[in-house]
Structure 1
Amino acid sequence: MLAAFDDASVWLNSPPLRSAELRGRVVAVDFWTYSCVNWLRTLPYVRAWQERYAAAGLVVVGVHAPEFGFEHASDNVRDAIATLDAPYPVVIDNEFAIWRAFGNRYWPALYLLDGDGRVRFSHFGEEAYEESERAIQTLLGVDGELVQVRADDVSLAADWGALKSPETYLGGTRGERRVDADALALNQWRLGGDWSVGEESATLASPGGSIAYRFEARDVNLVLAADTPVPFTVRLDGKPPDDAAGVDVDETGAGVLSAPRMYQLIRQADAAWQRTFEITFAGPGVHAYVFTFG
């Protein structure tokens, strides 16, 4: 599997790491894509493991395998690495060659390789942080207390007990539960205005377009991109979000779509219940990809 790194030409945060350099080392291979909320919630742990165990011989390699078109651009990935503080080596896997070599199917996915390049542990998705770190310690032959991680903002773990809304794609390939009715049932959504729906995303052609979603969760996130910065306004049950505003809006619901990424638009402090979220864009050229919840 390590041989898959030998043909990779684009590395960030590091010169290319080849299989000969990695043999004899414990390698944590983390498959990710930067707009994925599930990966964002694992990042503080991966970062902490790199900081704690690098001196003991651990090498963390982030394999960036893009889900959406804008994630193929190395400059976008480079910006995300800087903004999110992912300080370890990252290899760009736009053609999914490393992904296929590992037989991977998930974002995020963690594989721990021993000094011979054999997979000794794997975990897919979030959680299992204690189990993963204990596996790192075992392979390194070290012991000790587990890292203490402070996760907040977009990295805060989902409120799984209150989460009743699933990941929802807005593009035509995987989009579902879209309706035209004014009244929305739980997990239904609608587009308002001049939108066209492509395979990956819904694209807004003129100002004033909106997206509404009836959800039940603590957080509402939306992956967005635009050709130029576009101001937007968020409403929760028709009102400004106030103290339920996410990190990318203020209490009045105002925000700006600038970089292509995931935007956290709602974070509620109180218990979640069914509510209607709506976002309205002041300009055209918006591409809306997927809702995620926490």
Structure 2
Amino acid sequence: MKRYFVLLGLAVGVTVIIGVAAIVMLHSEKSVVAAANAAVADEGPMPELGGAVAWLNSTPLSRESLRGKVVLVNFWTYSCINSLRELPYIKSWAAKYKDAGLVVIGVHAPEFGFEKERANVENAVRELKVTFPVPIDSNHRIWQAFRNEYWPADYFIDGKGRVRYYHFGEGEYDKSERVIQELLRENGVTGLDASTVRISVEGAEAPFSDDVRSPETYVGYARAEKFASPGGFARDSVRIYSVPARPSLNQWGLGGSWNVGAESAVLQQAPGKIAFRFHSRDLHMVLAPPNNGKPVRFRVNLDGAAPGEDHGVDSNADGAGEIRQPRMYQLIRQKGGVRDRLFEIEFLDPGAQAFSFTFG
């Protein structure tokens, strides 16, 4: 399973022409429409939507019940920064084209264990103001039916139930919206607003910056890379760790008493620390409180000092914040120039669970 954390896309049925003139033309509305028209090939029937543990915002939908509708199937998961940055576009398309016959289905396919829990998904859907149908695909049945491998992934289905286009990852939103418009026209819709949506958002949903040199990094030992604490991991057992003295770019380490499992690291005694040398505008972490739900206080530093105006939406200028829910937390949003920085987060209560870092 893969995430796209930079502007990547894969589309079917598009002929790629290499050349300066072609690249320039793709920025015009006319050429985007032409690309959308070329993209609507026939990739076979829409897979079934069975196997979800529950549906939110709708009764269960099926391939047959959707016949005659243009459908966008979006695979997402609520702690994924890539899904969150795409979400404003998905919500805007759902609202703009609902009366024209577009049905958006947001298949919630979890990456981490806590994302399988219905209550957590319900809370995320409510807080993110998602109103379109959301099947909770905790066992990845729909994911497997589509043979999907990515977050986010978008599949565009015509009124006859045929997959006509797909796109993996963030970006190329104008092209995707042109495909929606073309499929609606094929379905007999007239008088569509031919413009494409323009999104202006703040916080974690804001577009990624153009200076990201740090990759998504997992904390659990199954997928961890560049772990630099002396002695390495003690898998599935409690150990006292020390943070590396001078980590290189994208190296990270633990400090204090931790139990590192395959998916996450759990702080056994407070205080405990995680340090990461990174290069990007934004730094996020996927964090969770202990299983008893008790909040965990934390404090973040940049280069040994409080972040000040470079704090994220989930920390203040002093670096203080709390883990109250299992989700992604934006901890740093640099306001000035981007450079290599040493990030440290100190947890002031035991039980904190750390899953991953993402950047933007």
Q: TM-score range by the shorter chain?
A: over 0.9
Asked if 1:247 is matched to 2:298, the reply is no
Aligned to 2:206: 156
Rounded to whole Å, the distance in 2 between the matches of 1:107 and 1:254 is: 30
> What residue number does 2:325 align with?
259
Could you tell me which residue of structure 1 aligns to residue 247 of structure 2?
Answer: 184
Shift of 1:106: 0.2
* 8 A contact 1:2–1:18 mirrored in 2: no
Q: Which amino acid aligns with 2:201?
A: A
| Paired AA for residue 156 in structure 1 | A
8 Å CA contact retained: 2:53, 2:137: no
List per-residue Cα deviations over 1:113-154 (Å, max 9, x = no partner). 111221111110100100100000000014511112122111
Partner of 1:167: 216
How far did 1:4 drift? 2.2
Contact 1:32 1:64 in 2 (8 A): yes
1:112 aligned counterpart, secondary structure: strand
The answer on 1:213 being equivalent to 2:282 is no
Letter in 1 for 2:208: A
Partners of 2:52 and 2:138 within 8 A in 1: no
CA offsets, 1:70-121, max 9 Å, x none?
A: 0000110010011111111000111111111111000000000111221111
Asked if 1:290 is matched to 2:356, the reply is yes
Q: Runs of at least 4 residues of structure 1 off by over 4 A?
A: none
**d(CA) in 2 for partners of 1:93, 1:253:** 36
Q: CA deviation at 1:18?
A: 2.2
Separation in structure 2 between the aligned mates of residue 6 and residue 217 of structure 1, nearest angstrom? 40
State how far apart, in whole Å, the 2-side matches of 1:185 and 1:9 are.
Answer: 44
> How far off is 1:196 after superposition?
1.4
Partner of 1:103: 147
Which of 86, 94, 113 is matched with 1:69 structurally? 113
Contact 1:9–1:16 (CA under 8 A) maintained in structure 2? no
1:86 correspondence with 2:130? yes
Contact persistence 1:6–1:19 (CA under 8 A): no
Shift of 1:7: 4.2
Question: Which runs of 5 or more structure 2 residues have no equivalent in the other structure?
Answer: 1-44, 186-191, 230-243
Q: Is 2:287–2:355's contact at 8 Å kept on the other side of the alignment?
A: yes
In the alignment, the residues of structure 2 paired with residue 151 and residue 58 of structure 1 have an alpha-carbon distance, to the nearest angstrom, of 24
Deviations 1:264-287 (A, max 9, x none): 000011110000000000111111
Unaligned 5+ runs, structure 1:
none
- State the secondary structure of the residue aligned to 2:330: strand
**Separation of aligned partners in 1, 2:157 and 2:227:** 43
Distance 1:9 1:230 in 2: 30
Distance in 2, matches of 1:8 and 1:235, equals 41
Amino acid at match of 1:242: G
Distance in 1 (CA, whole Å) between partners of 2:163 and 2:250 is 39
- 1:240/1:86 CA distance change after superposition, 3 Å: same
Instruction: Name the structure 1 match of 2:71.
Output: 27
Q: Which amino acid aligns with 1:27?
A: V
Alpha-carbon offset, residue 186 of structure 1: 0.3
Given candidates 57, 60, 64, the residue that maps to 2:104 is: 60
Q: Contact conserved, 1:64 with 1:93, CA < 8 A, in 2?
A: yes
Tell me the alpha carbon deviations over residues 160-219 of structure 1, each in whole angstroms, 9 at most, x when there is no partner: 2x1110000000100010102211100000100001110101111011100000001000
CA contact (8 A) 1:178 1:189 kept: yes
Identity of aligned residues (%): 50
2 CA distance for matches of 1:116 and 1:101?
A: 19
**Equivalent position SS for 2:103:** strand
Distance 2:150 2:156 in 1: 15
Residue 41 of structure 1 aligns with an amino acid whose one-letter code is R
Cα distance in 2 for partners of 1:3, 1:171 equals 33
Question: Structure 2 CA distance, aligned partners of 1:8 and 1:171?
Answer: 27
Q: Deviations over 1:46-77 (max 9, x none)?
A: 00000100000000000001000000001100
What is the Cα deviation at residue 9 of structure 1? 4.5
Q: Partner residue of 1:198?
A: 261
Q: Pick which of 262-271 and 5-14 moved more.
A: 5-14
User: What letter is aligned with 2:154?
Assistant: L
- Count of matched residue positions in the alignment of Structure 1 and Structure 2: 293
Equivalent of 1:44, from 88, 103, 113?
88
